[in-house]
Chain A
Amino acid sequence: MFGQYLADGIILGSTLALGAIGLTLTYNILNFANFAHGSLLTWGAYFAWIIVVAFGGVQGATFGPLSFGWPLVVALLFTAVMTSILAIIVDWLVFRILRKTNIQVSLVIASFGASLLLRNLVVVIFGPEPQYYSENIQIAREIFPGVRVTPDQIFVVCLSIILVILLHLFMTRTKLGKAMRATADNTSLAQVTGININNIVRWTWIVGASLAAVAGVFFGLTVQILPEMGFNLLLFLFAAAILGGVGSIYGAILGGMVIGIAADLSVLFISPAYKPAVAFTLMILVLLIRPSGILGEKTR
């Protein structure tokens, strides 16, 4: 059973890693804990669902053993764009104004309010019932003795790895990526060297929201699409970001994996219902022992 839970953990971890990267980026560059980040995952999943439904969903041809075809690829691109626009709109309407007031924590309350607003808009627009991208039933194959995964799950893990590599190249090789890292390190200094901070803020939202949208689609693909999914994942995402060290992208990836695997392995000992509590307990332990996280530098 251990191998199966480990595999499940890696699949959940891939979703969490992508979600946690966006959270840690906004935390580091915009300097507040964005409680609305989970809602971006939810909206990402629903934006993609619109496209899949518009293309007639399951009727089309699928890629080999996968449960989906071209519509989902289009949906992934569409949802990345739409979720980024949504994030920028929320930033423009709310956070931009509050940043000027200098009360940092009211940003956090506002993000908490925004998360409830966005989540309940989903309920009003799409209804409270769970949705799926595909009605096809996937047969799990045995990849190792005792470990069964579906082709969709393998796709999720592979695409996560590709996205993480792309993100690494973006942050280290492009001018924009370097500017984002500089801004995160020292905003004033970055500004003095001529970096356009407004542009950086916009790109932070675009990168964070796009990854959140993809993470939402992954969760929809491997579990289901629900209005509460983002809120339910929020605790996992924060635990991942804190465990890895807030501000560290690689830490967020590592944290996402550790939290995902730990949550699924905990099923060996306690009821699966307690998964969020496991993530929470790990987070509290990290805060007690090493508040800067595994790969973090800043303690304050």
Chain B
Amino acid sequence: MIGWISYIVFFLILASIYAIMALGLNLQWGYTGLFNIGIVGFFAVGAYTFSILATPDQVGHLGGYNWPFLLALLGAMVMSGIVALIVGVPTLRLRDDYLAIATIGIAVSIQLIANNLSWLTGGPQGIYNIPQPLANYFSSNLGYNLFFLGMMMFILVLVYVGLERMVNSPWGRVLMAIREDETAAGSVGKNAFSYRLQSFVIGAVLMGLSGALYASFIKYISPTLFMPILTFQVWAMLIVGGSGSNLGAIVGAVLVWALWTGSGTVVQWLLPADIQVKGGAIQIIVIGLVLMLALLFRPRGLLGERKEVAAEETKSKISNIQ
């Protein structure tokens, strides 16, 4: 029984970390129409910045600043925001696809840096001994994880309420107006580039926050944790949950994460030991199929915006082809 409870607590903590990322993506894609496929890059920047700032003395690479938890969290968010500015400024004026290409580029580059720039990131060995907040006050692992889950719920509610207020404010309405028709929004004096950049940076900051919390929860990070598949998972979460709905992003995060861990267990149980290495590939194929089917048959997801406005966005040049 205890085993089950600790498993569920562990599952929910990770699901809520993913949910924060999905919420960040929802602001970028769901409300602003920005196509970010370098989510894992911003997540990694948050995780590494937090780890470098918050760790006690480190050997062989930068770190040992011993910053308090909240301050390091803030540092991680700022750093992710700066990276988002670097990617956003050259690309957000151009057509959508360029941002997509640039974000995948930054994610690849960040992974390269994590792997190779050892003095900064610890290289392939990664960073150990990442502190957890208030860990000394708990004697049992389960007790601490329950506390961490509580903290995650608090942060998630905070992010959710914050985002809901933002998207329902005049600012949020401008975002959606730009998404639907940039020329019309421009004609009433709204600078599309500036609003897009704001939305992109705020979304990236949330991804950085999520990365920092992840690093703190698992206490150890290395480059192998930041593979492109993570970006894909978050996209699947948002599309399944319904882009344009913050609640949808959270529901999608829990569902897709359950599907991911569930399919992992099933694959492990079904496959003989000698082809276990292929298990991960099969898991990815399962998630890929779910994403494709959602896109093809339920493009608005479970809880997505009902209004059909987004559909009229850019008329594909050859939309009339069968």
Q: Which A residues contact B (CB, under 8 angstroms)?
A: 27, 29-33, 35, 94, 96-110, 112-114, 116-117, 120-121, 123-124, 127-128, 187, 197-198, 201, 231, 234-235, 238-239, 242, 271, 273-274, 276-277, 279-281, 283-284, 287-288, 291, 300
| Given known A109-B295, A116-B284, contact A235–B108 (CB-CB < 8 A) | yes
B residues in contact with A128, CB < 8 Å: 277-278, 281
B96 nearest in chain A by CB position: A105
CB < 8 Å neighbour of A96 from B37, B299, B314, B321: B321
A97/B296 in contact, CB under 8 A: yes
A242/B105 in contact, CB under 8 A: no
Q: Which B residues contact A (CB, under 8 angstroms)?
A: 33, 35, 37, 87, 90-91, 93-98, 100-102, 104-106, 108-109, 112-113, 115-116, 228-229, 232, 235, 239, 277-278, 281-282, 284-285, 288-289, 291-292, 295-296, 299, 310-322
User: In angstroms, how far is the closest chain A Cβ from the Cβ of B265?
Assistant: 18
A residues in contact with B291, CB < 8 Å: 109, 113
Q: What is the CA–CA distance of A281 and B317 in the complex, to the nearest angstrom?
A: 30
B285/A124 in contact, CB under 8 A: yes
A residues in contact with B316, CB < 8 Å: 31-32, 99, 102, 104, 107
- DSSP majority for the B interface? helix
Report the number of A-B residue pairs with Cβ-Cβ less than 8 Å. Answer: 165
19 more contacts with CB within 8 A, not counting A100-B319, A114-B292, A291-B98, are: A29-B318, A33-B100, A98-B296, A99-B318, A105-B100, A108-B100, A116-B228, A117-B284, A117-B285, A120-B285, A121-B281, A234-B104, A271-B116, A276-B109, A280-B105, A284-B102, A287-B98, A291-B93, A300-B95
A residues in contact with B101, CB < 8 Å: 33, 238, 242, 283
B281/A197 in contact, CB under 8 A: no
A residues in contact with B314, CB < 8 Å: 102-105
B residues in contact with A197, CB < 8 Å: 318, 320-321
- DSSP majority for the A interface? helix
A284/B229 in contact, CB under 8 A: no
B residues in contact with A120, CB < 8 Å: 281-282, 284-285, 288
| Given known A109-B235, A112-B232, A284-B90, contact A30–B318 (CB-CB < 8 A) | yes
B319 nearest in chain A by CB position: A102
User: In angstroms, how far is the closest chain A Cβ from the Cβ of B299?
Assistant: 6
Q: What is the CA–CA distance of A126 and B78 in the complex, to the nearest angstrom?
A: 43
Q: What is the CA–CA distance of A31 and B97 in the complex, to the nearest angstrom?
A: 10
A113/B319 in contact, CB under 8 A: no
Closest 7 pairs between A and B when the two form their complex, measured CB to CB: A280-B105, A33-B97, A123-B281, A120-B281, A117-B288, A277-B109, A31-B317
15 sample A-B contacts, Cβ–Cβ < 8 Å, listed by A number:
A94-B292, A102-B313, A102-B314, A103-B313, A105-B314, A106-B295, A109-B239, A113-B295, A114-B292, A120-B284, A238-B104, A280-B105, A284-B90, A284-B105, A287-B91
Q: What is the CA–CA distance of A197 and B289 in the complex, to the nearest angstrom?
A: 29
Q: What is the CA–CA distance of A238 and B106 in the complex, to the nearest angstrom?
A: 13
| Given known A30-B318, A113-B292, A187-B318, contact A291–B94 (CB-CB < 8 A) | yes
B residues in contact with A116, CB < 8 Å: 228-229, 232, 284, 288
A residues in contact with B96, CB < 8 Å: 104-105, 108
Q: What is the CA–CA distance of A121 and B282 in the complex, to the nearest angstrom?
A: 8
B residues in contact with A35, CB < 8 Å: 37, 100, 104
| Given known A116-B232, A123-B278, A276-B108, contact A99–B116 (CB-CB < 8 A) | no
CB < 8 Å neighbour of B310 from A103, A231, A235, A287: A103
B289/A117 in contact, CB under 8 A: yes
CB < 8 Å neighbour of A113 from B106, B108, B232, B281: B232
A residues in contact with B322, CB < 8 Å: 96, 100, 198
Q: What is the CA–CA distance of A97 and B297 in the complex, to the nearest angstrom?
A: 10
A105/B33 in contact, CB under 8 A: yes
B residues in contact with A114, CB < 8 Å: 288, 292
B288/A113 in contact, CB under 8 A: yes
B86 nearest in chain A by CB position: A284
| Given known A123-B281, A124-B285, A284-B102, contact A101–B311 (CB-CB < 8 A) | yes
B residues in contact with A108, CB < 8 Å: 35, 96-97, 100
B residues in contact with A231, CB < 8 Å: 228
User: In angstroms, how far is the closest chain A Cβ from the Cβ of B107?
Assistant: 10
A residues in contact with B310, CB < 8 Å: 103
B321 nearest in chain A by CB position: A197
A235/B312 in contact, CB under 8 A: no
A residues in contact with B299, CB < 8 Å: 101, 103, 106
Q: What is the CA–CA distance of A62 and B37 in the complex, to the nearest angstrom?
A: 44
A287/B94 in contact, CB under 8 A: yes
A residues in contact with B288, CB < 8 Å: 113-114, 116-117, 120
B116/A198 in contact, CB under 8 A: no
B296/A94 in contact, CB under 8 A: yes
B239 nearest in chain A by CB position: A109
Q: What is the CA–CA distance of A102 and B38 in the complex, to the nearest angstrom?
A: 24
CB < 8 Å neighbour of A187 from B102, B292, B295, B317: B317
